[in-house]
Structure 1
């Protein structure tokens, strides 16, 4: 069994809640399924769960370099120079990243509002980019955008490998 879940902000990639963060059990009541890859509580979007150990390892293990696509709202305006840096790969404190595919985008009309909303500063604009990576380091996308001078305000994983969020409202899941 493979499940795609559109994880809301504030939900951990585990079934038990911890501190101020909710757990998956608030949304998914299926015994025997486990998360295939993580998505931090302050990030939203595609989370896959399965009851198949080899499939879980294939999705989560960085050796398989499964592509993940992120829609990222950043503080500041996305520039071609920043996109070029991200596309070549950037150096983080734990070493260089692999090259990414990066492009400036506009969010789709069906993008759900985040609860709570992001912080906004009236004198600092925000913009969006799409970033496709094949790694999964801790908070990698946030660190990559910060390295190019664009701090992340909102991070939504939209695709993992061949699986997308298409037609899946936030907080809901569907068996694939």
Structure 2
């Protein structure tokens, strides 16, 4: 009787192990990235890069890089967003690039770029076939000291991906 319980317990443990393994693979597949992203912010010989992240959770999974510059310095931003979704066309994807004042470095809630805190706000919509790439570049100056969020994000992909995609940098202007 004791051997039977032990055999049953071992069989259940092996079965649960396989179940968790399969669930882990499914979760990994469900969380596969749909976009590769690169955001580079440069000024005066300094440069930081940020890569693809996702929301939820609010603020993403990765800590944002920080670039500190002097007020009035020229800033150069380059961004790249590549579709890595192999199952067809992602239709009506919003591509939204913006720079907005934030309260502090690492702030989780994303400030509204269309309000008075917005410095740059640009967006467009397009269909992304597999390996389609959208890029952008802008040069500008910020004269008011403070902390700013530089961000490129997808919009309208939550239904397919279960999250939105973004890349972001915190900018400290002294």
How does the TM-score come out when normalised to structure 2?
0.28
The structure with higher relative contact order (CA 8 Å, sep 6+) is: 1
In terms of fraction of residues, the more strand-rich structure is 2
How does the TM-score come out when normalised to structure 1?
0.27
